[in-house]
Structures are given as C-alpha cells and as structure tokens.
Amino acid sequence: MWKNISRQLFGRRVSTGTEIDPDEIFLDSSNLPEFDRHQFEGRLEKPIPARTILFAGAVVLAILLLFMGKSFALQVKKYDEYARLSEDNRLRHIIIFGERGLVYDRRGEILASNISDPAEPAFSKRKYSQRKGLAHLLGFLKYPSKDSAGFYYKVDFEGLAGAEKYLNEELTPEHGLKIIETDVHGNIASESVLKRPVDGRTITLSIDARISERMQELLQSIAEDRGFQGGAAVIMDVESGEILALSSYPEYKPQMLTDGIDSTAIRAAFADPRKPFLNRATEGLYSPGSIVKPFFAIAALEEKIITPEKEILSTGSISIQNPYDPEKKTVFRDWKAHGLVNMREAIAVSSDVYFYEVGGGFEDQKGLGIGRIDTYARLFGFGREPGGNNFFGAAGVIPTPAWKAAHFDGEPWRVGDTYNTSIGQYGFQVTPLQAVRATAAVANNGKLLEPRLIHESGDPTFELIPASLESFKVAQEGMRDSVKYGTAAGLAVPFVTIGGKTGTAELGTAKKFVNSWVTGFFPYEHPRFAFAVLLERGPRGNTVGAVYLMRQLLEWMNVYTPEYFKAAD
C-alpha cells in the first residue's frame, strides 16, 4: 500500500526492497480508480499502419502542388494582366466639368455667364444679370451634386425654369475625363486627359434686355400705385415671331434660387401670395375682355354675317326673354350708349352691343354662334398651346356648351353665354403671349407665328389663318381708329403710328375688380411689332391701367430705342 501511495505522490517507483504485489501488475477496471472506458482507458496502444502514413503524405503533396500551380499562374502566366490591374488600383478617374453656355441678349449684352468659385473649384458657378424683368426669361438651374465623400453622383447642370430649362440641351456642356496616378501614399505621380470637355453652346436671345427691364419697372410702379395684383407685358416681331421683350410682375431672383444659400429668402419667395414664380406672360390665364373683338370681327366678315358698313344701334343694352320667367327679360349691357356704329367704329369704341349681335344674333341680325366663335378663336391661337416647347405655356379656355356642361353640373348653353363669350367674358381664359400672337396675326394679314426666343436667321414657323386680306384690313383700320378717337386714344403718340385695342374684363359676380388690357402693333403702315399688356385684378374704378403703361413705354423707347419704330426695309 505504501508503494502505491508513493507512486501517486511522487510519480516514480519507490524501492522498498520488497516483492511487487500482484495487484500492481494486474490492474483492471475493478481496482483502477475512476477508470473510463469511453475515453479508451485500459486499451493497449497499436502502431499506425503504413498505408495511413502514405495516404496522409499524398494529401499533403497534392495541396503543395495546388499551391505551386496557383502561384505559377499568378506570378508567371498572368503576370501582365495582374500587373495592369494592380496599376489600375492606383488610378483615379476625375470628371472635367465643361462650361455651361453663355446667354446674351440681341444687342450682345451678357445675361448669364460663368464665374470661378474657390468654394467649388470643380466647376464654374452661374452668374446672372442684375437687370429687372429677366427672371422669367432666364430662369434658374441646379448644380451637379456630390455625396459626403466628394463623389459626384449627378454631374449635369439642370435647367429648372425659363431659358435655362427651355434651352437646356443647347446650354449643357459635354464633360471631359482625366486619369490621375497616385503612389502608395496617395501622392500624385502623373495625370493625363482622356477626353477634353466641350463647353455648352452660346445663345443669343431675341430679347432686348433694356426694354424688358423698363416694362418691369412700369409694371411694378403701376401695380403698387393703383392696387393691381400683378401684370405682364410682351412685344413680338410680327414677321419672325421673335420675342423682343417679355416681363412678368412680381418676379423672383434667379441668382438666389440658383445659389440656394439664403434659405430664409427662398422660403419667403415661395410663400409670397402674389405668386412671383408664375410667369404671367406665358402661364397666367386671364379673361381677355374686348381685345378679342377684332378677331371675331374678321370671323363675322368671313362667315358673311355682316358687312363692314352695316350699322347696329347701341342704346346701352339689349334685352332678351328670360327663359325662367315669361314676364321678365335678361338685360345685356354695353359700357355706354354708342348710337349707330359700323364694324370699324364698333372696334374703335369697343361696342359690346355690336358684338353681342354679331356673336349671338339679335332680332334680324344673324350671329356667328358659339361653334364658329370657338373655331375662329382657335384659328387665332386661343384654346391651345402657343408653341411646341416647355417655355411658351398654357392653352387657356374657350367657353363652349361641352365646357359649360362639364363645369356647371350639366347646365345647358344659352344665347346669353354666347353674348358674353363674344366680348371675351364668361369662362374665356387667355395668356398675354396668346394675345400678342393673335394681334401679330392681324397685323401681318393672317400668319399665326410660333414664338421664338432665340435671335437667329431662318424662316419663321407659322399657320396661315384662312381669311381674306379685306377682312384683316377692316380689323386693322378699326384698331387704328381706336387710337385716333376710341378707347386706345392714350396711345396716340407723335413719333410712331399705332393700331390698338383695349379690354376691361370684369372679375367675379360682384365685378369689383377688373383685368386691364391693351393690345396693338406698330408702325401701323408697315407693322414690325405687336404688343400685349395686362394689369391683373385691379379696382374697377381705377382710371390708370394698361394703356397708360404702354404709353409710358412708347415714350421711353422713343428716347432710348427709337430703332424699333422704323419701318422694316
């Protein structure tokens, strides 16, 4: 027993000089403490077979051969390919931003240019002219965008309004590309240009920025002094369709929106109830009032409804039977009693009664009827978009029986609706650009021009209105008489002859507010330009409106831009 204890304590045999006990030789599971068969205790060890060693060696050899083969492929067979890929890992592709195209007015004055900005060295920033009246013409844009790591995920300049949007394809540059090689520390070892940038096209607009600015100043002054909500003015070349001037009040600041820095001012502009982002010249829809009368005069002559010389008596109103009460009549009033007037005189003095009768008929006088009114209004460009692009805007509305049924719960069309439509009231809605386009068609004897914003040579695009020269001549003479002694007499200036037509469109059922219009063309003998001026939603009793504005502009042009009053060669 002592020997067993010694061996367990000291790990070696302790000689005592006595014999070995049998239990020290024949240990088994019954006398070995904590014997565990599941851990193979008590089994005799055997040598590893030779075939096992050979198999293990074969596996190790196969692995070594595989690694050697792969290493050969990487370092010898595909050396050139992987060397190139390794070099590419040290190359950076950098965009070279091109310059956005410059924008000039017809005289060569720069309106939109590019300037370098230390805060954004990758591309130039847009710089706009500080002249008034150019916001809706020029528009604004959005710059390329990059993420927090400096990677440009949007590389194009995006025009968002005005010429920046309308001419975006021409103004947009083609960006270039260069490769920069860096060492392991990120230092530039070399660089080379793969593709050089191509700047955007330089554009010369058809406008004279001086006139647009002066129109804007007059719109602002009269609107603020006389209580108008806003306004717009357009001048168009009657032979080419080029826009000489275009202004909309109120306007925004293109530089502010493009820079996008002053968020407080931007929010205030968007919250402005006067809607400064609305281009009233191209997108604003307004009741035209009496400016439509020359167009319907041409329609009446073409349809043989009346002769130019036939007179109609205006005692201040006409009355028709009330369809709901046989004892009552519905009265349609003129703005004054004009007496007997023929077509030229009716245009000149703007007789409502005359156009009630030639529009809807009365007693023995036949009328055009709403169907033909709609047809001729569309021939003059109303009720449809004035150009095949994204700048020239809204289509407007011509009231018809279908329109009334859709908007007034199926109510039938009545002759009174025709009367009101024939003098530009009821649901009639037009833009100032449509008005100037139609007026230009009267001045040029029937060419409905597609508006052009670019100053360039080439034949104009137009539709020919199917009406005789004699009919156009009557309308022209009526507009000239309007300036001589009629409602547009305020345009009788000594330095140029004008043909004009006024319009006062009453708004709402209470008729407390009006839109003030004037349209026309000059020089009368050989027309070059047509114009349309709108002052929006002013007090009904106001005596200063669109005619006054146009008179002020004409006098300014006579001093600063008299070249536009000369007859075309």
DSSP string, 500-513: EEEEEEEETTT--E
Q: What is the mean pLDDT of the chain?
A: 88
Residue entry with tokens 């509305």: 397
CB 536 within 8 A of CB 228: yes
**pLDDT tier at 45, thresholds 50, 70, 90:** low
**pLDDT tier at 568, thresholds 50, 70, 90:** low
Please write the tens of the pLDDT for every residue from 55-95: 777 788 878 888 777 777 666 666 666 655 555 556 677 88
Report percent pLDDT > 90 for the chain. 67
Reported as half-sphere exposure (CB side, CA atoms, 13 A), residue 154 has a value of 7
State which amino acid sits at residue 223.
A
Provide the b/e sequence for 109-146 (b: ≥16 CB within 10 Å).
eebbbbeeeeeeeebbbbbbbebbbbbbbbbbbebbee
Q: Is the pLDDT of residue 43 over 80?
A: no
CA nearest to 213, candidates 131, 282, 111 = 131
User: Per mean pLDDT, which range of 24-33, 154-163, 389-398, 426-435 is the poorest?
Assistant: 24-33
Q: Which fold has domain 92-204?
A: Penicillin-binding protein 2a (Domain 2) (3.90.1310)
The two counts, helices (H) then strands (E), for the chain are: 19, 22
**pLDDT tier at 9, thresholds 50, 70, 90:** very low
User: Per mean pLDDT, which range of 10-24, 168-182, 534-548 is the poorest?
Assistant: 10-24
Q: CA 527 → CA 118, 167, 537, distances in Å?
A: 51, 29, 31
Q: Is the pLDDT of residue 539 over 90?
A: no
Residues 6+ apart with CB under 8 A from 521: 238, 439, 440, 442, 443, 479, 498, 499, 527, 529, 530, 531
323 against 177, higher pLDDT: 177
DSSP single-letter state for residue 175 = P
Beta bridge partners of 215: none
Q: Is the pLDDT of residue 330 over 50?
A: yes
What average pLDDT does the segment 260-284 reach? 94
Token reading at 352? 């409502």
Q: For residues 249 and 265, what is the distance between their CA atoms, to the nearest angstrom?
A: 18
Strands 158-159 and 141-142: antiparallel
User: Per mean pLDDT, which range of 9-23, 134-148, 269-283, 324-338 is the poorest?
Assistant: 9-23
Instruction: Return the top range by mean pLDDT from 43-57, 90-104, 354-368, 378-392.
Output: 354-368
**pLDDT tier at 5, thresholds 50, 70, 90:** very low
User: Cis (ω within 30 of 0) for the bond into 523?
Assistant: yes
What average pLDDT does the segment 286-291 reach? 95
Token reading at 311? 């007179």
Please write the tens of the pLDDT for every residue from 182-240: 765 667 666 777 889 999 999 999 999 999 999 999 999 999 999 999 999 999 999 99
Quote the longest CA-to-CA distance of the chain.
162
Report percent pLDDT > 70 for the chain. 85
- How would CATH label the architecture of 209-563? 3-Layer(aba) Sandwich (3.40)
Q: CA 504 → CA 25, 38, 532, 540, distances in Å?
A: 132, 111, 13, 9
161 against 3, higher pLDDT: 161
Q: For residues 43 and 71, what is the distance between their CA atoms, to the nearest angstrom?
A: 46
Task: Break the chain into its structural domains and give their ranges.
Answer: 2-39, 92-204, 209-563
The confidence score (pLDDT) of residue 2 equals 46
